[in-house]
Structure 1
């Protein structure tokens, strides 16, 4: 059959979007999903996202990594899905949707800047050399020197597959502090098994971890990723991070059809 798809990117984190409100997509075909995400033999993307009907909310988000497996929450993917829902006239300026980690609220402005509410974070493991927390996906956060020349893929894979995180593994973020409220981040993403230009849950994890470890007192933090800039805002009380918002652009790239 011919499958209509839409391509979106959020600070270089790119996704194949499919309107699956009619349940046309073969969701269990991991080989097909991996092929669609393949940059040589398919459309090419860090992940594939289905927009589906939901009985209570505006829509449901179903997210797959580029390896074809359904995965944990993707922040940039969620932001792009909000922009996609606007393009489909499912929403206008506000969205309520369900993802794998629960309910999300988002707003989108006329310039397609999406503010996506992330989950509340109340558990952060702080170790001398790294922090670990779950922002919808698990994230290892470590400060490093020479971030621009750092071997993210090799060092990230070592940590992702280490005994520290077992079979499930973790995403890995390497961080350099730029100013009192701005950090540069490079991320190794599990499921992609490589560095990506941006990771939304990773940017969120870095912002919270840097605040938790007293690297910044700011509650709106700028995150410079390889593909652009994001912002993360939150409230914090007694170590609990709530009203967490991931903020940044969500950009339509192109649409097309592909035989599957």
Structure 2
């Protein structure tokens, strides 16, 4: 499946038990040359507390707490509204014509919720990497830093992204977002995704960037976020209902179905 070109291998283990997923197996399945190939692997499992559980694995085998585009893909696959368990807490999904809407929960801004290595104001961080300076940090189920620049396309994200992702300031690494204003309540965004690299779209990145832009007074909700793969609509009111949650809407589609032998990837 994919959402705006951000593609996923989705494994449904809700009713059919599967061998235990490991970082090595996730990495092997995600390999575009010797595996199936994807940006992230999405695993659906039973849940005692919610409709089901969703786990997200990056292409490097690491497990992520949230994935916005992957969540929309899950909503489309499930085909009905649901509340699902994730590593970052429960989220609600609702399929729509051609896609889905996801309640991504409440963003967090405290330095230790990102987390950062030491206390710091996350609204305008007094740090920089060459011409990318004074970002905002937001946790939307996974950690993000957002840089607002004149032209997002001109940023050397392929070079600076991995440097920022692995900086000691971010003990759990970080997703790197570079955004610019494209019009009234409209942002253009590129993302270096933690554990996956440059991506055509990042749902949590769009959420984090929209929230940061609203907090800084650059745009008002709802915000259209244009990524290389297409547009997402992000709605967030800091004191709105439900409890300041982020609502993300956008497309997701199934590309194909297939089978594989687990022993080939164990």
Q: TM-score when scaled to structure 2?
A: 0.86
The one of 6, 10, 18 equivalent to 1:13 is 6
Give 1:44's aligned residue: 37
- Deviation, structure 1 residue 103: 1.1
Supply the distance in 1 between the matched residues of 2:139 and 2:76 (Cα, whole angstroms): 25
Equivalent pair of 2:55/2:65 in contact (CA under 8 Å)? no
Q: Which residue of 2 aligns with 1:108?
A: 95
Mind listing any 5+ residue stretches in structure 1 that lack a counterpart?
Answer: 1-7, 87-91
What residue in structure 2 maps to residue 219 of structure 1?
221
Correspondences of 1:78-89 after superposition (within 5 Å): 78-86=71-79
Alignment partner for residue 200 of structure 1, among 195, 203, 209? 203
Residue from 191, 194, 218 that aligns with 1:187:
191
C-alpha distance in 1, partners of 2:89/2:108? 16
Q: Say if 1:173 and 1:188, in contact at 8 Å, map to a contact too.
A: yes
Task: Give the alignment partner of residue 161 of structure 1, picking from 140, 146, 166.
Answer: 166
Question: Secondary structure of 1:256's match?
Answer: coil
Q: CA separation in 2, counterparts of 1:188 and 1:27? A: 29
| Structure of greater relative contact order (alpha carbons < 8 Å, 6+ residues apart) | 1
Q: 8 Å contact 1:171–1:189 — kept in the other structure? A: yes
Instruction: Tell me how far apart the structure 2 counterparts of residues 15 and 108 of structure 1 sit (CA, whole Å).
Output: 17
Q: Using the alignment, how far apart are the partners of 1:28 and 1:104 within structure 2?
A: 22
The aligned length equals 242
Q: 2:151 maps to what in 1? A: 146
Task: Give the gaps of 5 or more residues in structure 2.
Answer: 111-121, 126-133
Show CA shifts across 1:193-226 (max 9, x none).
x10111111100000000111111x110000011
Task: Write the mapping of 1:12-91 to structure 2, written as runs, cut at 5 A.
Answer: 12-22=5-15, 24-86=17-79
Deviation at 1:122, TM superposition (A): 4.4
The two structures have a TM-score, normalised by structure 1, of 0.88
Q: Distance in 2 between matches of 1:180 and 1:18?
A: 40
- The corresponding residue for 2:137 is 132
- Determine if contact 1:234/1:241 at 8 Å carries over to the other structure: no
Q: Please, what is the CA RMSD of the aligned residues?
A: 1.8
Contact 2:165 2:173 in 1 (8 A): yes
What per-residue deviation string (whole Å, max 9, x for no partner) do you get for residues 79-103 of structure 1? 11111222xxxxx3x1111111111
Deviates more, 1:47-56 or 1:141-150: 141-150
> How many Å apart are 1:64 and its aligned residue?
0.9
> Given that residues 49 and 61 in structure 1 are in contact (C-alpha distance below 8 angstroms), is that contact kept between their aligned partners in structure 2?
yes
Residues 52 and 61 in structure 1, CA contact (< 8 A), matched pair in contact too: yes
For residues 39 and 31 of structure 2, what CA distance do their matches in structure 1 show? Answer: 9
State the distance in 1 between where 2:106 and 2:193 align. Answer: 21
